[in-house]
A = this chain, B = another copy of it.
Amino acid sequence: MNPEKVSEITPSEWEVMRIIWTKGPSHSRELIDLIQRKRDWTESTIKTLLGRLVKKGLLETNKVERKFVYSTTVGELDAMNLTSQQLFDHLCAMKKGQTLVNLIVHTNLTKNDVQKLLTVLQKKEQTAPDTIACDCLPNDEDCTTDNCECEEK
């Protein structure tokens, strides 16, 4: 896989990737048609996006009877995991829990998802620490929690 490159997927490029992840390997024509039903982009724009994704190594092409077939080189789930983790990596350690609560509240989940989440959490419960320090300041500087309104509300 190409983890570094995954972080460089831009919003527009995600749109393109999602189509190919879902549709499977496809010709540019098919992709352009599909994307144009969601986005008001010209053919040209989509071609550029495809080209950039190939250059980044996130898509690869195979010439099949004259036309290129575009396929992804990363799994969608892998990309989602990497991207979301990366986002979390630059957030205050102290508040990630709250953020997850918020995410879960606002995300539509199946019973199955909920079950899995419950299982993971129950396992985590045992080893969970009582507190987690804020990591927003340089190491040597202490996060005096008076200013740091990191606590719940």
- Chain A residues packing against B (C-beta within 8 Å): 11, 14-15, 18-19, 21-24, 34, 37-38, 75-77, 80-81, 83-85, 87-88, 90-93, 95-118, 120-122, 124-125, 128-132, 134, 136-141, 143, 147-150, 153
Nearest-CB residue, chain B, relative to A146: B24
What are some 26 contacts across the A-B interface (CB < 8 A)? A11-B90, A15-B90, A23-B148, A24-B147, A38-B138, A76-B92, A76-B95, A81-B98, A81-B102, A84-B91, A84-B103, A85-B106, A88-B107, A96-B109, A97-B109, A97-B110, A97-B112, A97-B113, A97-B117, A105-B120, A108-B129, A110-B131, A111-B128, A114-B124, A114-B125, A115-B125
Stoichiometry, copies per complex: 2
Check A99–B120 contact: CB distance below 8 A.
no
**Nearest Cβ on chain B to A135's Cβ, whole angstroms:** 9
Check A14–B90 contact: CB distance below 8 A.
yes
Check A110–B130 contact: CB distance below 8 A.
yes
In the complex, chain B residues whose CB is within 8 Å of the CB of A148: 21-24
